Structure 1
Amino acid sequence: MASETPRETLLYVESYVLLTTLLIAFLTVFGSWRRRSHSLKLKYSIWASYLLCTYLINYAMGLMKSATFRNELFSVWGTFLIIFHGSADCMSAYSLEDSENRKRYNVELFVMYFWLGWLIGMHTHKLKFMIPLYLLYALSLSRTGGRAEALELACKSYGLVRNTKLVADYMEDERNKERDEADATCMKGYKYLVKGEEKARVKVQPPRYHMQLETTGDHKVITIDMIWQCEGKLLSSTGDPDGRLKYICLSYALYRLLCRRFAKYSFPESSQPKTWNFVRYGLLSKEGDDHERAFRVIELELGFLYDLFYTKYPALFAKGLPLVRNFEFIIVIIGCWVAIPTLKNYQERNGGSDVHLMTTGGHNLDALLTGVVLVAILFMEIVQFFVVSFSDWAKVQWLCHYVEKPWLRNKCMEMIIRVICHRQLLKPWDGKLGQYSLLESFSHNPSVLLYNRLTSPYIDKPRKGRKLSAHVSLPMEVKRAIIHSLKTNGKRLRNGVDSLQRNGVERLSRACKLPTQTHVIMVWHIATSLCELNLSSQVIDTGKHVNQQSESEDFIVATKLSKYCAYLVAFAPRLLPDHPYVTEFIFDHVVVEARERLKGCEKSICQKMFNLCKDDRKKRISEKMSTLGQGSETKKAERGAELAKYLLDENVDRWKILAEFWAEMMLFVAPSDDETAHAEHLAMGGEFVTHLWALLSHAGILKRDCTQDV
């Protein structure tokens, strides 16, 4: 540093300021799309930007402090960078560990504010210039403090357990109260808490020290039944015919209930019949498009959950509409508007030193950089103002105010609330299904150039045969099939056995009684893939008739869910019933078996697989099926081939059987006690099985051993 000239130091500082500004602007623009995108490039770019920003700010301030000359814009740049860094509402954390390690962020903030105070004191001498800087200093404290508050709220070991206890105790008290019979069609009797508890009186009652809400008189809270019973035109059958506004509040209430699973509180209402009725006769009461409504509610709910762990929205809306945030927005807009014209005539004054940089056009580069940072801040504030104002959090606040305050039920306010609530700037989820096909990917080997001993300390080496297929849009047929299976089976979760019995193929149920659930998924996945390969070969030979079969609803459900379950085995084992390492271990051995049995026959896999099970036609196949799942040493590839051969040779509706099997299987694997895994996958675009996990939780199905008939 000592050998560098003042001009070189100034150039370094300006480069780091510009780079940090661009990175934070990138986080602001693309961070909002993170929760709904499965793009690895976008995720790695966001990760790099998120990780580098803090280090670049500290390093740039270190260069400013150690500079041998004075520049009054150093303190301005440092203040702007910290304001910019703390203003990204759409992203407060990249991973759950950031929330748990919130104290590290506070230490980083302390270091940055120490350097910033030093810079303002050392490089600012005019009082009229120092006063605005300290005002901005205070503004930056508010912005970065909001992020620290968001991390505290999301911390499962601190903020989450504290803030969720009231909801947990409230639901337990509601369960113990004797009420009239609940009606899920109009939400009568469903006292799910939405908002208002911060204004209510809370009492703590020994000996269990429950937190009790006083919800009478002037201390009313907003619950779901109040939303449905609101007499305002905006929430009436004419003002909200499809119930979208009501279901926004319902999603928020369900999100608050789901937080209990992350805080390890119990679900006392899960044993009540009205909990199952809430899903069966509430969300799924309307025939035809009930699956759309149910999944739309869950999508919004998981959007709130994502915001809790990874954004500042919970902190912004903790006390209602963020009026202070809007006031700060106005101050920043006015400040930028006033400062930009001033920079046009700026001439650097640094006590006689002529250290400055000029562009080829003769413009002062210091002033130009300051202008770029101001424009970036202005752009970010405008974008975030609209994103926050039209967010689902703002919609819930407006709707709760509308229910609570009758004076808001006038045409003008109803029009404003309707405009806000009917605008969806960002989708909660992009509706993608991960796909994996063992028979297409078993021969895949990771790149030696990318995954080797040199890169192993930094990059985890993928397992062999683990090649991700392209994600597909979640078909409507899949949603419909799963909801139909849930209605048919009720709270009875089985891994496909019931669907096989309904279709008259009970003998296949032995293929559902293998040592682990991973065995079952892989055997049936192989069988489904072989049926699909066989159909593809028939399309080439026979044409139109088989082609229509390949476009049927049952075919779409069976193939998409088969590949999705295999994708979970290969890429998300923590979301499945078996121990994650057991799942990985079994998957590796299935790949080895497939490589041994199918070596050199990539183009004739179907015929080779059928030859493995010794084709003696129907009688021999039936004999083999009688031993399937009873300790036979038959390899999983052979078992899958036997199963496929039976489905192809017998006179059965194979695609209907497979579609109903996989729909039932998805519901069976959805319950989970690993809430952290679901939260982590929300940050990576979300998984369809997480939607089912949340839906079943609200139906009172918390474990897959829940076998009572309904």
Structure 2
Amino acid sequence: MRYKKSISVKEDDILKEIIFEQLKDKALKAGDSKIAKEIFSARGNWVLSQHLCPHHPEILASVSEEVEYDESLLLWHVATELCYFTDTTNSEGQTDPTFDEEAKRKREETKNKREICKILSEYMLYLLVMRPTMMSAVLGIGQIRFQDTCAEAKKFFPKGQSGTSFEIFNKLFGRSQSELEPRWREVCKALLEVDTVVKPIKVKGDRSKSLLFDACMLAEDLNELKVENRWTIMSEVWVELLSYAASHIRPNGHAQQLSKGGELITFVWLLMAHFGLGDQFRIEAGHARAKLIVDK
């Protein structure tokens, strides 16, 4: 619990707005049961199919049906961390006098989406690791993958080495984000500098379930996208990963959280119910109704 922190979601929060608008848009598109089923079962692949062309097969493969949900979640969590701490969105255009109001607005929007990716990434990992009972329907071997990924990160940064993640972890408690960010940036740059042309599983086999360097490859592919597109796509993928888990968690799991004040994921589930997104909420047929029309 040492690293747990809470973030307030305010009434006019951009996070709420993006979640609401994305689910509302999907509800409008879910005209028939086939499309509704596709949207309901999407966990990033619906968003990516709308935004990306076939020239980015590695990104599309990270959320394909062949990849388990917990694997996709961990891949995108690590990739988000790597993209977040090596991104230059905060500094771009700061001293450029040619930046007009529209450019400033777009930059601010990109920064907001970048922060949303970070928040949802950390939140979903928290649920995966700290709420395994609630997430059991989508958990798979997520705990093993998480432990193996942590173990590989520790091997990459040996204990005692100056400026390593171990030093950061040991000094994390009580430090602010602004104090730690330069150190995290060094760590993320070091990971992205590793030559990961060959898939890690071909080198080490499948005994280890670590996704560290698979996520590095995903982050490299995401970094090839334009910065505005990157954070727009990533924020929408995270909302889809969140809504997929929300709709697949058992209803009694959500109900138990309400007695403790509720989780964001539970409110997303209720919003999906309101929009009719989900197998248990769609009504394909009902009692016949007759409408009486009387001519004047």
TM-score when scaled to structure 1? 0.29
Amino acid at match of 1:526: V
Runs of 4+ in 1 over 6 A off after TM superposition: 631-634
3-state SS, counterpart of residue 262 of structure 2: coil
2:114/2:231 contact within 8 Å kept: yes
Alignment match, 1:659: 235
* Paired residues of 1:672 and 1:703 also in contact (CA < 8 A): no
Deviation at 1:529, TM superposition (A): 1.0
Paired residues for 1:528-607 under 5 Å: 528-535=80-87, 539=90, 543=94, 548=107, 552-576=111-135, 578=137, 580=139, 582-599=141-158, 600=161, 601-602=164-165, 603=183, 604-607=186-189
Asked if structure 2 preserves the Cα contact closer than 8 Å seen for 1:529 and 1:559, the reply is yes
Contact 2:47-2:233 at 8 Å conserved across structures: yes
Matched-pair contact (CA < 8 Å) for 1:526–1:640: yes
Give the structure 1 partner of residue 171 of structure 2.
none
1:118-267 equivalences under 5 Å are: none
* Distance in 2 of aligned mates of 1:632 and 1:612: 21
Aligned amino acid, residue 257 of structure 2? H
How far did 1:613 drift?
4.0
Residues of 1 paired with 2:225 and 2:277: CA distance? 36
Secondary structure class of the residue paired with 2:5: strand
Matched, 1:479 2:16: yes
Match of 1:648 in 2: 223
Larger C-alpha radius of gyration, 1 or 2? 1
Matched residue SS, 2:247: coil
Q: Does 1:518 align with 2:70?
A: yes
| Alignment of 1:488 onto 2:20 | no
Does 2:272 match 1:696? yes
CA-to-partner distance for each residue in 1:499-550, whole Å, 9 max, x for gaps?
A: 11222255211011354211111110111111110126x7579856799558
The separation in 2 between residues aligned to 1:635 and 1:583, in whole angstroms, is 10
Contact 2:24 2:275 in 1 (8 A): no
Report Cα offsets for 1:153-191 as digits up to 9, x if no partner. Answer: xxxxxxxxxxxxxxxxxxxxxxxxxxxxxxxxxxxxxxx
SS in 2 for 1:574: coil
Q: 1:550 & 1:489 partners in 2: Cα distance? A: 22
Q: Deviations over 1:285-313 (max 9, x none)?
A: xxxxxxxxxxxxxxxxxxxxxxxxxxxxx
The Cα offsets for residues 572-604 of structure 1, whole Å up to 9 and x where unpaired, read as 233336465733333222222222223342232
* Contact 1:593–1:637 (Cα < 8 Å) also in 2: yes
**In the alignment, is the contact (CA less than 8 A) between 1:573 and 1:580 conserved in 2?**
yes
Distance 1:564 1:686, change over 3 A: same
**Per the alignment, do residues 539 and 482 of structure 1 end up closer, same or farther by CA in structure 2, a change over 3 Å counting?**
closer
Gaps of 5+ in 2: 28-35, 97-102, 166-182, 285-296
Distance 1:527 1:638 in 2: 9
TM-score by length of 2: 0.64
Partners of 2:117 and 2:231 within 8 A in 1: yes
CA shift at 1:474, angstroms? 1.7
Structure 1 residues 478 and 575, CA, compared in 2 at 3 Å: closer, same or farther?
A: farther
For residues 677 and 594 of structure 1, what CA distance do their matches in structure 2 show? 32
CA–CA separation in structure 2 for the residues paired with 1:700 and 1:529: 33
Determine whether 1:501 maps to 2:52: no
Q: What amino acid is aligned across from residue 71 of structure 2 in structure 1?
A: H
Counterpart position of 1:684: 260
The Cα of 1:656 is off from its aligned counterpart by 0.8
User: CA-to-partner distance for each residue in 1:373-399, whole Å, 9 max, x for gaps?
Assistant: xxxxxxxxxxxxxxxxxxxxxxxxxxx
Partner of 1:637: 212
The size of the alignment, in residue pairs, is 229
CA contact (8 A) 1:481 1:557 kept: no
- 1:291-348 CA-to-partner distances (Å, cap 9, x unmatched) read xxxxxxxxxxxxxxxxxxxxxxxxxxxxxxxxxxxxxxxxxxxxxxxxxxxxxxxxxx
**What is the one-letter code of the residue matched to 1:642?**
M
Matches within 5 A, 1:83-98: none
- What is the percent sequence identity of the aligned residues? 20
Report the Cα offset of residue 556 of structure 1.
2.8
Instruction: Answer yes or no: is the 8 Å Cα contact 2:44–2:241 preserved in 1.
Output: yes
Deviation at 1:608, TM superposition (A): 1.9
Call closer, same or farther: CA 1:699–1:584 in 2, change over 3 Å.
same
Q: Specify which structure has the bigger relative contact order, considering alpha-carbon pairs within 8 angstroms and separated by 6 or more residues.
A: 2
2-structure distance, mates of 1:544, 1:470: 34
Structure 2 CA distance for aligned equivalents of residues 634 and 612 of structure 1: 19
Question: RMSD of aligned C-alpha atoms?
Answer: 3.6
Cα distance in 1, alignment partners of residues 24 and 53 from structure 2:
21
What is the alpha-carbon distance in structure 2 between the residues aligned to residue 518 and residue 684 of structure 1?
25
Letter in 2 for 1:480: E
Distance 1:681 1:497, change over 3 A: same
Q: Which residue of 2 aligns with 1:468?
A: 3
User: For residues 28-427 of structure 1, what are the structure 2 equivalents within 5 Å?
Assistant: none
Structure 1 residue 637, shift from structure 2 partner: 0.9
AA of the residue aligned to 1:527 = A
- Are the structure 2 counterparts of residues 691 and 609 from structure 1 closer, same or farther at C-alpha, using a change threshold of 3 Å? same
Instruction: Please report how far the alpha carbon of residue 497 of structure 1 lies from its aligned counterpart in structure 2 after TM superposition.
Output: 1.0
CA contact (8 A) 2:149 2:211 kept: yes
Residues 82 and 216 in structure 2, CA contact (< 8 A), matched pair in contact too: yes
The change in CA–CA distance for 1:478 and 1:540 in structure 2 (over 3 A counts) is closer
Q: Classify 1:569/1:544 alpha carbon distance in 2 versus 1 (closer, same or farther; 3 Å).
A: farther
Q: Which runs of 5+ in 1 are unaligned?
A: 1-465, 615-619
